[in-house]
Chains A and B, each alone.
Chain A
Amino acid sequence: MDADIVDLIIVGAGPAGLAAACEARKWGLGVTLLDEQGATGGQIYRAVDAASAKRRSVLGEDYAAGAELTAAFAGSGARHIAGAAVWNVGRDLKVNYVQGGANRVLQARQIVLASGAMERPFPIPGWTLPGVMGAGAAQILYKSAGALPTDPVVLAGCGPLLYLLASQYLHAGARLKAVVHTTQRRDYVRASSHLAGALLGWRDLRKGIRMLGELRRNGVPVYAGAEGFSIEGADRAEAFCFTYKGSRKRIESSLVLLHQGVVPNTQLSWSLRAKHRWNDAQLCWEPETDEYGQIEASGIYVAGDSRGIVGAKASASQGRLAALAIATKLDRPGRDQRLARESEVRDELRNQLHIRPFLDALYRPPAAHRMPPEDSVIVCRCEEVTAGQIRKYVELGCQGPNQTKAFGRCGMGPCQGRLCGLTVTELIAGARGVPHDDVGYYRIRPPIKPVTIGELAGLV
């Protein structure tokens, strides 16, 4: 099959990918951007172009600002391949994808991976029941379909998105039954050592404080410092239970929205066998890159949340930095102007990152919600492997996630370890009493997205 050669291929149409594309185009690079969705924006700016004025108002100005980026991309001259499931990225800088049932390949001179983030898994009893979803998932439902909960809804967990969604729901006229979050005194104490940074990022801090005030004013019951979450129900969610101030509470609800932060989507970087290190402040894996995001000397750059959680604006800055480095690598004229531009972008990035350590510390998810103490909690949703089974495999001598995968099929389902990987790494590290970097992560193999045998065989 003939491969077209493209200066820069970008995987992902969120802020990092879009900003990288626009920046690269400014310097005369040919750009092709692939994404799974039909429209650009990733998850954070999902459906922003199609959003009505009412929806943009509910979702807030940060969301609406995404339309500038999608518009800039649309006018940049970059080629956009929508509905593309990228199933392999090679060290030879080829990108294999399936689109409309056809298996295609592109050859790049350089690549930017901008796969963004996903919600951290929330392994608690009952989390697999119908009616239990991520808060981010519910937000996507509103962004993409204007869908709001029919009945008063329970939001539970920790992190800014929890309060953001609560606030958006209030603006949209949806009712909130309760907001139950885990942030407690020791989290504030931990975060206080990062207060200086938080104050530098005071605009972000102010947003958060405003949202909490809003909830209070609207009489939404807020349970702070809660723990021991579980969801009851036979075949669907029926009630949300938690411990609050020492006693067990139960709130009836058929819809429970869970959230405890977002984590980098690292499937592509792991599949390239890039070195990753465990970031204990963010409790996730990050690919090791240089200051432009390049993996070793590979010509493959990682930008945005998939490199480490930095937020939408910082993701865009990282995308720009990668594009600047690539423009120089590919010998485009304007090297000096690029250096000036880089300096500008790095200043922006620095400002955008001020609030981060404070947020990471304040909203650190509790251990019991990452490493379930109850043996019966399902860790691998696809293959229905429980926490107890993982711990048993460690007792049998399994040293890492690949052995537990071999013994119990955990990580062998269609999600390819996305929703269980972090939990398994943490469970094994905890059971063995060793650092996460010693335990490692699943060996991630292509196809990165499940494509059909027919598609691979080249039959449409």
Chain B
Amino acid sequence: MQARELIVIGGGLVGAAIAFGAARAGAPVTLLDQGDIAHRASRGNFGLVWVQSKGHKVPRYARWSRDAVTFWPAFAKDLLELTGVDVALEQRGGFWIGFNDAEMQARGAMLAAIDGAVGVPYEMLDHAALRERLPAIGPTVAGGSFCPLDGHANPLLLLHALHAGLKALGARVVSSIDVTQVTCLEKTSGFEVRGRDGKTWHAPRVVLAAGLGNKELAPQVGLHAPALPNRGQVLITERLRPFLSYPTNKARQTNEGSVQLGYSVEDVGLDDGTTVDAIEWIARRAMATFPVLSSARLVRAWGALRVLTPDGLPIYQESAAFPGAFVATSHSGVSLAGAHARIIGPWFAGLGAAPDSFDVFAGERFLDPNRSFSNAH
């Protein structure tokens, strides 16, 4: 197959990983990025490389998440060799922490169902068993679940590495571009991408990976990609000596030593600010989880807007009306990065097959009047 040029709109974790994967597979790639003004969901990613509890109702997503993490080690190694940036990947397992019996029951049932459907290993641990693995756990913690496939990485280093990797591979990365229009060109059946300042780019294939921006752009190429902003607030401590060896769903110690504590789930439109209430709530939860954090200094709190589809699952699709136009929307930009690079990038560039049974990720599912959606986090 001959590599034909690809334009990727959106330089966040999703767009940059897809662009990188396409470039790695040999496609000439142009990445159009908004720059410093972008909402940049990528900067708000918690950093988990997570499998457990994904795809409870949708086994294909559970399988996609499980397979995605297997690509990560080679992906991280490739980025390191190409760019010198170590994205601090660790995959030794991860924990979910529960505070009461009802939560624990529900969790156990859900993980059993996922394991039964797709095969995702897990363990339920009561307080004593959890304490053996995480000695710093607080007395009010009821227990937790452990999945050996889980891990974490550094989202900001990953974004840096992807951009450096694109540069190293000779891809063209253009910053400060606000794409307003994508048009299919009749004659060549390629696409024209137009920026707010009137600049245009042309290519046979185009990928919409603009996060919240996909909603406006998708219909222009016959696709449906609804996503709403969902705010998560996170706290970051000063650098600390290592004390937490595994990531947990709401607390992880980064490779730099700072502890990241989460998080809120809020429907507040495009407001990425922080609130005192959320900061104090997260601090109380952190204290209950790991009481030793009492003396740790908080250096920063931030809010970021998750790109959340109505059911919380990704959208990956080639346009039927305009073949060569693709959309990718996902809020799990770190967990799925390896798969976005190894599978999605080549697929969109025409250099690899589409994954099987991906119809479940088509955007039209949201147009079905008989379905209701919940993206409970």
Q: How far is the CA of A410 from the CA of B16 in the complex (A)?
A: 22
Chain B: interface secondary structure?
mixed
Q: How far is the CA of A452 from the CA of B261 in the complex (A)?
A: 13
Known: A406-B43, A406-B159, A446-B274. A453 touches B294 (CB 8 A): yes
Do the beta carbons of A450 and B297 come within 8 Å of each other? yes
The B281-308 residues at the A interface (CB cut-off 8 A) are 283-284, 286-287, 293-302
B16 CB → nearest A CB, Å: 11
A448 CB → nearest B CB, Å: 11
Chain A neighbourhood of B280, CB < 8 A: 103, 456-458
B280 CB → nearest A CB, Å: 6
Taking the complex as formed, is A88 at the interface, i.e. its CB lies under 8 A from any CB of chain B? yes
Q: How many B residues, CB 8 Å from partner?
A: 39
Q: How far is the CA of A408 from the CA of B159 in the complex (A)?
A: 11
Chain A neighbourhood of B167, CB < 8 A: 396
Do the beta carbons of B298 and A459 come within 8 Å of each other? no
Taking the complex as formed, is A399 at the interface, i.e. its CB lies under 8 A from any CB of chain B? yes
Taking the complex as formed, is A397 at the interface, i.e. its CB lies under 8 A from any CB of chain B? yes
Do the beta carbons of A399 and B160 come within 8 Å of each other? no
Q: How far is the CA of A450 from the CA of B237 in the complex (A)?
A: 9
Do the beta carbons of A453 and B175 come within 8 Å of each other? no
Known: A94-B276, A454-B294, A457-B283. A409 touches B256 (CB 8 A): yes
Stretch at the interface among A44-52, A213-221, A339-347, A411-419: A411-419
- Of B36, B40, B160, chain A has the most CB atoms within 10 Å of the CB of B36
Chain B neighbourhood of A105, CB < 8 A: 276
Q: Which A residues contact B (CB, under 8 angstroms)?
A: 88, 90, 94, 96, 103, 105, 273, 396-400, 402-403, 406-409, 412-414, 416, 440, 443, 445-447, 450-454, 456-459
Which of A96, A398, A446, A459 has a CB less than 8 Å from the CB of B294? A459
Which of B163, B236, B298, B300 has a CB less than 8 Å from the CB of A397? B163
- In order of increasing CB-CB distance, the 8 nearest A-B pairs are A454-B294, A400-B36, A456-B283, A450-B297, A457-B283, A457-B287, A399-B36, A457-B284
Do the beta carbons of B175 and A399 come within 8 Å of each other? yes
Do the beta carbons of B36 and A456 come within 8 Å of each other? no
Q: B43-81 CB contact bits vs A (8 Å, 1 = yes)?
A: 100000000000000000000000000000000000000
Known: A397-B173, A409-B256, A414-B238. A453 touches B164 (CB 8 A): no
The B167-217 residues at the A interface (CB cut-off 8 A) are 167, 173, 175-176
Do the beta carbons of B283 and A445 come within 8 Å of each other? no
Do the beta carbons of B175 and A407 come within 8 Å of each other? no
Do the beta carbons of A445 and B274 come within 8 Å of each other? yes
Q: How far is the CA of A454 from the CA of B237 in the complex (A)?
A: 12
B82 CB → nearest A CB, Å: 14
Do the beta carbons of A453 and B298 come within 8 Å of each other? yes
Chain B neighbourhood of A396, CB < 8 A: 160, 163-164, 167
Do the beta carbons of A452 and B294 come within 8 Å of each other? yes
Known: A396-B167, A414-B299, A445-B274. A453 touches B36 (CB 8 A): no
Q: How far is the CA of A416 from the CA of B236 in the complex (A)?
A: 12
Do the beta carbons of B297 and A452 come within 8 Å of each other? yes
Known A-B contacts: A399-B36, A416-B299, A445-B274. Give 19 more (CB < 8 A).
A96-B276, A396-B163, A397-B163, A397-B175, A407-B156, A407-B159, A409-B256, A412-B299, A445-B302, A446-B276, A446-B279, A447-B301, A453-B237, A453-B296, A454-B287, A454-B294, A454-B295, A457-B294, A458-B284
Known: A397-B175, A400-B36, A406-B43. A453 touches B293 (CB 8 A): yes
Q: How far is the CA of A398 from the CA of B163 in the complex (A)?
A: 10
Taking the complex as formed, is B26 at the interface, i.e. its CB lies under 8 A from any CB of chain A? no
Known: A397-B175, A457-B283, A457-B287. A413 touches B163 (CB 8 A): no
Q: B255-274 CB contact bits vs A (8 Å, 1 = yes)?
A: 01000010000000000011
Q: How far is the CA of A445 from the CA of B296 in the complex (A)?
A: 18
- Of A399, A402, A413, A440, chain B has the most CB atoms within 10 Å of the CB of A399
- Of A96, A414, A457, chain B has the most CB atoms within 10 Å of the CB of A457
Do the beta carbons of B298 and A452 come within 8 Å of each other? yes
Chain A neighbourhood of B238, CB < 8 A: 413-414, 450
Do the beta carbons of B299 and A450 come within 8 Å of each other? yes
B7 CB → nearest A CB, Å: 17
B88 CB → nearest A CB, Å: 12
Do the beta carbons of A402 and B274 come within 8 Å of each other? no
Residue of B with least CB distance to A440: B36
A420 CB → nearest B CB, Å: 14
B363 CB → nearest A CB, Å: 29
Which of A400, A407, A453, A457 has a CB less than 8 Å from the CB of B160? A407
Do the beta carbons of B287 and A450 come within 8 Å of each other? no
Chain B neighbourhood of A443, CB < 8 A: 302
Q: How far is the CA of A96 from the CA of B298 in the complex (A)?
A: 14
Q: How far is the CA of A454 from the CA of B280 in the complex (A)?
A: 10
Taking the complex as formed, is B35 at the interface, i.e. its CB lies under 8 A from any CB of chain A? yes
Chain A neighbourhood of B299, CB < 8 A: 412-414, 416, 447, 450
Q: How far is the CA of A458 from the CA of B279 in the complex (A)?
A: 12
Taking the complex as formed, is B33 at the interface, i.e. its CB lies under 8 A from any CB of chain A? yes
Known: A90-B276, A399-B36, A399-B176. A453 touches B283 (CB 8 A): yes
